[in-house]
């Protein structure tokens, strides 16, 4: 049985989607802990409602990133994780922390990487006139919002989309995509190809398309 540790900073809707899929699909995995850098993250209550252990490591209690990351890693490691799942965890991680979990830490980022790393992805996609937006699950590497792509979901940008309407549709796709990607990992179906790209050893697609690919409207 694989131990998953999920890191959040806010509402934790992706964490809930993973917990639901893990239970409903009977994964050979358990969520050992949900850890937040903010004690007011509403996702902590949602985790407790699932009977999942929670912990808070407040970045404000530490003098600098290195000290925070060292304390965070200590708490994470106390749960003996196999995979670290970043789900709306809003901290920039130090290279040492990323190295400690090399190859076993996933993140979800609300854009079609490598486009739009960083913040305000939906606003930037609309302002750029993009006709497609989406979300990416990737392996975490030291460079922010980079790293081998595990899966992506695409959402058409409608002419009347606002940041809010677009982000709501992308989030709905995240709730399908992230559990799927974590399940592949749990089932040992992901492997790194010779060129570093992530290869999936099933007939499932690493690409999800909103509305099964039908034109928007
Ligand atoms: C998601 O949009 C995710 O892509 C980004 O932060 C958001 C987290 O939402 N990294 P939630 O806390 O899972 O509801």
By annotation, the residues acting in catalysis are 109
CA pair distance 180, 190, nearest whole angstrom: 12
Q: How confident is the model at residue 193 (pLDDT cuts 50, 70, 90)?
A: confident
Domains contained in the chain, CATH given:
1-102 (3.40.50.170), 108-217 (3.40.50.170)
Distance (angstroms) between ligand 1 centre and the Cα of 14 equals 6
Average pLDDT value for the chain: 96
In tens, the pLDDT along 145-174 reads 999 999 999 999 999 999 999 999 999 999
The number of the ligand 1 atom at minimal distance from the alpha carbon of 43 is 12
CA 129 to chain centre: 26
DSSP string, 130-182: -SEEEEEEEE--SSTT-S-EEEEEEEEPPTT--HHHHHHHHHHHHHHHHHHHH
Please give the model's pTM, rounded to 2 decimal places: 0.96
Distance (angstroms) between ligand 1 centre and the Cα of 179 equals 13
| Residue 120 scores a pLDDT above 90 | yes
């Amino acid at each position: 049985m694989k131990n998953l540790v999920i890191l959040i900073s806010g509402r934790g809707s992706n964490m809930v989607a993973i917990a639901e899929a893990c239970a409903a699909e009977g994964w050979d995995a358990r969520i050992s802990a949900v850890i937040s850098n903010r004690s007011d993250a509403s996702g902590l209550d949602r985790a407790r409602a699932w009977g999942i252990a929670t912990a808070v490591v407040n970045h404000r209690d530490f003098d600098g990133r290195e000290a925070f990351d060292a304390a965070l890693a200590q708490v994470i490691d106390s749960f003996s994780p196999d995979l670290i799942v970043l789900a709306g965890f809003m901290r920039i991680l130090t290279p040492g922390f990323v190295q400690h979990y090399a190859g076993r830490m996933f993140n979800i980022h609300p854009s079609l990487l490598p486009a739009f790393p960083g913040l305000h992805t939906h606003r930037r996609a609309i302002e750029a006139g993009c006709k497609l937006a989406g979300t990416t699950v990737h392996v975490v590497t030291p460079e922010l919002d980079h790293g081998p792509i595990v899966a992506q979901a695409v959402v058409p940008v409608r002419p009347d989309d606002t940041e809010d309407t677009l982000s709501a549709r992308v989030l709905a796709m995240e709730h399908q995509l992230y559990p799927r990607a974590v399940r592949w990992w749990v089932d040992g179906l992901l492997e790194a190809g010779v060129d570093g790209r992530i290869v999936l050893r099933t007939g499932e697609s690493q690409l999800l398309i909103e509305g099964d690919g039908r034109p928007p409207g």
